[in-house]
A and B are shown apart, each in its own frame.
Chain A
Amino acid sequence: NAGVTQTPKFRILKIGQSMTLQCAQDMNHNYMYWYRQDPGMGLKLIYYSVGAGITDKGEVPNGYNVSRSTTEDFPLRLELAAPSQTSVYFCASSYGTGDAPLHFGNGTRLTVT
């Protein structure tokens, strides 16, 4: 079982470039999440989805977009990269709310210069 798979592992972007961070899960989880983690800090929620076709903003959504066309995939789009978006990005999935743990991928380390 692969669990939550994130690609790429590392990426360097120039200011103003765009990219999509990929996230896929094979556990048939309805709930998926994107977090970012800045150095020495905890994780902050960017966007989340409770099922295909449904997305909602988290704590820090500005500068990002998401879509959820299938249960398995939840890509995160950066349209105009800025140095403030330099961070480690984690995707997670969950069976449901409350009593269901989140399972995390191993992250994408993004540097914007």
Chain B
Amino acid sequence: DAKTTQPTSMDCAEGRAANLPCNHSTISGNEYVYWYRQIHSQGPQYIIHGLKNNETNEMASLIITEDRKSSTLILPHATLRDTAVYYCIVRVYNTDKLIFGTGTRLQVFP
């Protein structure tokens, strides 16, 4: 599975957009990009995923570059409850596994 690289930590002011980058330069054409987050020690929470096109749902937007070597998760109006560790993962279509990295610790401050 392709590896991902994320910054260790980021800060964001409450109400502002949080933009979390992820590099996946070895991604293959059939690999999806997934984003999860983990608040305290709870189970990881699914946020969004995509293959080639940008995606948006009620939680976030996912922007994937045209060459697919990097992506950005956007939380449009961050709240204190968005403070969490965010994981960017690439997953091959016909495999059964999600392999987690160490993620980005996002701190939203008032």
Contacts and interface: CB of A to CB of B under 8 A. Distances in A.
Interface in B74-110: 87, 91-103
A90 interface: yes
A98 B42 contact: no
Contact of A101 (B46, B51, B102, B103): B46
**Prevailing SS type, chain B contact patch:** loop
A15 B28 CA distance: 44
A90 B36 CA distance: 14
Contacts of B94: 97-98
A42 B100 contact: yes
Contact of A97 (B45, B93, B103): B93
Given A43-B100, A59-B99, A97-B96, A106 B91 contact: no
B100 A104 contact: no
B96 A50 contact: yes
22 contacts: A4-B43, A33-B96, A33-B98, A35-B100, A37-B41, A42-B87, A42-B100, A42-B103, A43-B44, A45-B98, A48-B97, A90-B43, A90-B44, A97-B95, A98-B91, A99-B49, A102-B44, A102-B46, A102-B98, A104-B43, A105-B43, A107-B43
Given A44-B100, A45-B99, A90-B43, 9 more contacts: A4-B43, A42-B100, A43-B44, A45-B97, A48-B96, A98-B92, A101-B34, A102-B98, A105-B43
Interface of A: 4, 31, 33, 35, 37, 41-45, 48, 50, 56, 58-59, 88, 90, 92, 94, 97-99, 101-107, 109
